[in-house]
Amino acid sequence: MPEGDSVHQAARRLHTALAGQAVTRSDLRVPKLATVDLTGRTVLDVTPRGKHLLTRFEGGLTLHSHLRMDGSWRVYAPGERWSGGPGHQIRAIIGTAERTAVGYRLPVLELLRTADEHKVVGHLGPDLLGPDWDSEQALRNLLAAPERALGEALLDQRNLAGIGNIYKSELCFLIGATPWLPIGELPADKASRL
């Protein structure tokens, strides 16, 4: 499961490759989007939100993707061999004159109005790496269900967005707490270190 920092890095690579450029190739290989053509639209930006990627296009459209366990986005130069996996695993191709972004094994891929992004990311807690990071709010969110296991609470993206299994395990190790401990039983000094 990719951690939030991996998604932020992917967003940065995609933004650098695509933002400000017109789409010259558009191929969305999921049944619901099979007839969608983004060719001619300019990519405005690529923004991470927790583990979600939001690729915004002119005209008020956003391509929402989520990597889940093994999805990935790769960026290729013209003529470069695509090496992210077999062709049948490709779910999205967004090309410009300078670069092509290819989404492999994307379990979530949907097109929505940019004004409706809140419908797919509005439930998320503060993003660990985002401009809205609020450690106090994240801690309040975590402690709101004191009977919940620490590890489960850390993985709940509604509490704080961007933590996966590796970071959950590392955080528990660093504060010396088992992930099965009810979060309400976590001593205050350890809770504040989260």
Q: Name 71's Cβ contacts closer than 8 Å, sequence gap at least 6.
A: 2, 65, 91, 103, 104, 105, 106, 107, 108
Q: Does one domain contain both 51 and 78?
A: yes
113 in helix, strand or coil? strand
User: For this structure, is 58 an active site residue?
Assistant: no
Q: Does one domain contain both 29 and 54?
A: yes
User: For this structure, is 119 an active site residue?
Assistant: no
Q: Percent of the chain at pLDDT above 70?
A: 99
- Structural domain including 74 reads 4-121
* Domain count across the chain: 2
Tokens read off for 49: 């939100």
Q: Which of 2, 48, 126, 168 is catalytic?
A: 2
User: For this structure, is 32 an active site residue?
Assistant: no
| Contact by Cβ (8 Å): 169, 182 | no
Q: What is the pLDDT of residue 101?
A: 99
Q: What is the pLDDT of residue 132?
A: 82
Instruction: Tell me the C-alpha distance between 85 and 92, whole Å.
Output: 13
Q: Does one domain contain both 104 and 20?
A: yes
Residue 126, domain member (yes or no)? no
Residue segments in the chain with a per-residue pLDDT below the cut of 70:
1
Q: Which of 3, 48, 126, 168 is catalytic?
A: 3
Q: Name 11's Cβ contacts closer than 8 Å, sequence gap at least 6.
A: 46, 47, 48, 53
Q: Cβ of 95: how many Cβ atoms within 10 Å?
A: 21
Q: Does one domain contain both 19 and 88?
A: yes
Q: What is the pLDDT of residue 194?
A: 82
Q: Does one domain contain both 117 and 140?
A: no
Q: What is the pLDDT of residue 78?
A: 93
Q: pLDDT tens across 53-77, in order?
A: 999 999 999 999 999 989 999 999 9
Q: pLDDT tens across 169-194, in order?
A: 999 999 999 999 999 999 989 988 88
Q: What is the pLDDT of residue 1?
A: 60
Q: Does one domain contain both 89 and 176?
A: no
Q: Which of 48, 51, 126, 168 is catalytic?
A: 51
Which domain-ending residue is among 73, 93, 121?
Answer: 121
Q: Does one domain contain both 179 and 85?
A: no
